[in-house]
């Protein structure tokens, strides 16, 4: 039960805290734009397309079976592209507040709604279920993964905002590449890492990339690149 509570605290509690802070600081527009960017790019666009292809395209199914590494790269990059472009469009055309704090809250909204959808809703449901104890390890790892995923989305959002503010699309491309790399590794590492170790390897890899990117975003703030 403790692991389910932990997962719920990370996947629902943290986004709620960020939302309350955003309203308190009158920065709710960047936060809500981050939420909208994820929902539109993934829930309404990418996921339905992938689901349709998986159910109706023989070529798509054969590609996934015969070229698993290349397939993982394509799927990973597709996530990076749709989310990266959604970030860029939201920030470029709809976000007036373009300082560091707004980029942080945009990323918190983007990663927060992903955490709620992928882990939070299920964790909250299980809190009232007698079977919660059976999910101890899975939800503990899920909570950790969502924490670092939120950090990753914050870092990616600040990188995209840097590109928007300084009119350098290269930063957007770099954010797309980093996001695509992370998602590609989720599909590639299980092909080569022993089953009993793959989750730990994935979590450590995500943590290292997320912390590096978040550290870069802190460096940007200290250097005054985004005030």
Q: Can you tell me the mean pLDDT for 101-122?
A: 96
Q: In this predicted structure, which of 106-115, 131-140, 168-177 has the lowest mean pLDDT?
A: 131-140
pLDDT at 133 over 70: no
pLDDT at 139: 84
Q: Can you tell me the mean pLDDT for 109-137?
A: 84
Q: How far apart are CA 102 and CA 25, in angstroms?
A: 10
Q: How far apart are CA 146 and CA 123, in angstroms?
A: 12
pTM of the complete model: 0.95
pLDDT at 164 over 70: yes
Structural tokens at position 82? 């749709």
Residue with tokens 């790269």: 73
pLDDT at 136: 65
Helix (H, G, I), strand (E, B) or coil at 166: coil
pLDDT at 132: 59
Angle between helices 28-38 and 100-115 (to 10 degrees): 40
């Amino acid at each position: 039960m403790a692991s389910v509570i932990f997962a719920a605290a990370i996947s629902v509690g943290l986004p709620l805290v960020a939302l309350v802070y955003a309203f308190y600081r009158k920065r709710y527009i960047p936060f809500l734009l981050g939420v909208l960017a994820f929902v539109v790019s993934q829930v309404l666009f990418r996921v339905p397309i992938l689901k349709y292809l998986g159910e109706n395209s023989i070529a798509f199914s054969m590609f996934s079976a015969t070229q698993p590494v290349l397939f993982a790269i394509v799927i990973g990059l597709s996530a990076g592209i749709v989310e990266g472009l959604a970030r860029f469009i939201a920030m470029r055309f709809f976000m007036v507040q373009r300082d560091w704090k707004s980029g942080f809250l945009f990323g918190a909204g983007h990663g927060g709604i992903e955490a709620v959808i992928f882990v939070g809703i299920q964790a909250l449901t299980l809190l009232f279920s007698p079977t919660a104890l059976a999910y101890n390890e899975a939800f503990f790892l899920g909570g950790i993964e969502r924490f670092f995923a939120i950090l990753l989305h914050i870092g990616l959002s600040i990188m995209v905002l840097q590109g928007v503010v300084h009119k350098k699309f290269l930063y957007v491309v770099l954010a797309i590449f980093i996001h695509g790399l992370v998602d590609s590794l989720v599909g590639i590492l299980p092909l080569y890492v022993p089953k009993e170790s793959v989750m730990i390897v994935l979590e450590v890899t995500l943590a290292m990339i997320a912390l590096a990117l978040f550290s870069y975003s802190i460096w940007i703030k200290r250097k005054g690149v985004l005030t």
